[in-house]
Amino acid sequence: MKIDIITLFPGMFGGFLKESMIKLAQEKDLVQVKTHDLRKWTSDKRKTADDKPFGGGAGMIMKVEPVFKALEDIVKEKDREKTKIILMTPQGRTLDQMVCRQLSELERIVLVCGHYEGVDERIRLLVDDEISIGDYIITGGELAACIIVDSVTRLLPGVLGNPEGLDTETFDNGLIEYPQYTRPREYKEMKVPDVLLSGDHKKIENWRKRQALKKTKEKRPDLYKSHES
């Protein structure tokens, strides 16, 4: 899979792309992630990518020209049909596990990171989708893009050591994941439930299902209600 990121601040991705799972996935050539500095496509000496909004108002607005030129260079006409261009914006549809799975099945995605007060509305005409990571405001789309890269990459075949774990993770079946434990069996009078030490796989599976339902009902009643309906 190929992921391109168009951003005004490519340095924000430096550490993220060189650590942990993302680093290993790139080394195995399971995913190719490339950042593009949007200022490369500006036309003045100051490399201006934003301007004051028409009609007045607070903040600055990202200009349409640099984004248009960047997409024109990065996404060639022959690759357009197999490429999905996504604008990171609080106005987009909310990212969830289903969206992550949909994106992981694509050949290539291009993430356009919004910044400042917002983007010129005409930029929305250049993209195929708009995604938000939640109903709150952050400085720009860079952190949101990192979340998409991480959540999508881990779903790609061969990235995780134990792919079976994907089927039981939180949100994949509409529930919060069941409690998990590892050594030691007891720590400061806190014990691992006996059923997990029984070796009876059927009992363990039933226990995990009950616990997942219990945790979801307590912590995410909205998910529980959807699961029950």
- The pLDDT tens digits of the residues spanning 4-19 come to 999 999 999 999 999 9
Tens-place pLDDT, residues 18-61 = 999 999 999 999 999 999 999 999 999 999 999 999 999 989 99
Shared-domain flag, residues 97 and 183: no
Shared-domain flag, residues 103 and 132: yes
Residue 158 is assigned to a structural domain of this protein: no
* Full residue range of the structural domain in which residue 54 is found: 2-153
Residue type, 36: H
- From residue 106, how far is each of 3, 31, 84 by CA, in Å? 10, 12, 8
* CATH assignment at residue 222: 1.10.1270.20
Model confidence, pTM: 0.90
- Residue 217 phi, psi dihedral angles, 5° rounding: -65, -40
Domain boundary among 153, 181, 205: 153
Q: How many other C-beta atoms can be found within 10 angstroms of the C-beta atom of residue 118? A: 18
Stronger pLDDT, 106 or 168, i.e. the higher one: 106
Shared-domain flag, residues 147 and 175: no
Tens-place pLDDT, residues 72-108 = 999 999 999 999 999 999 999 999 999 999 999 999 9
Q: How high is the pLDDT of residue 21?
A: 97
Of 97, 138, 122, 96, nearest in space to 12 by CA: 138
Q: How high is the pLDDT of residue 80?
A: 96
CA gap 21, 18 in Å, rounded: 9
Shared-domain flag, residues 116 and 17: yes
Domain boundary among 119, 153, 187: 153
Angle at 112 between CA 108 and CA 113, to 5 degrees: 135
Whether 69 and 61 have beta carbons less than 8 Å apart is answered as: no
Q: How high is the pLDDT of residue 170?
A: 65
Shared-domain flag, residues 89 and 10: yes
Q: How high is the pLDDT of residue 136?
A: 93
Q: Mean pLDDT of all residues in the chain?
A: 94
- Residue 228 pLDDT class (50, 70, 90 cuts): confident
Q: How many residues in total does the chain contain?
A: 229
Q: Which of 70-74, 169-173, 209-213, 225-229 has the lowest mean pLDDT?
A: 169-173
Residue type, 77: E
Indicate the SS3 state at residue 135: coil
Shared-domain flag, residues 178 and 91: no
Whether 130 and 87 have beta carbons less than 8 Å apart is answered as: yes
DSSP assigned state of 82: G
Domain count of the chain?
2
Shared-domain flag, residues 121 and 170: no
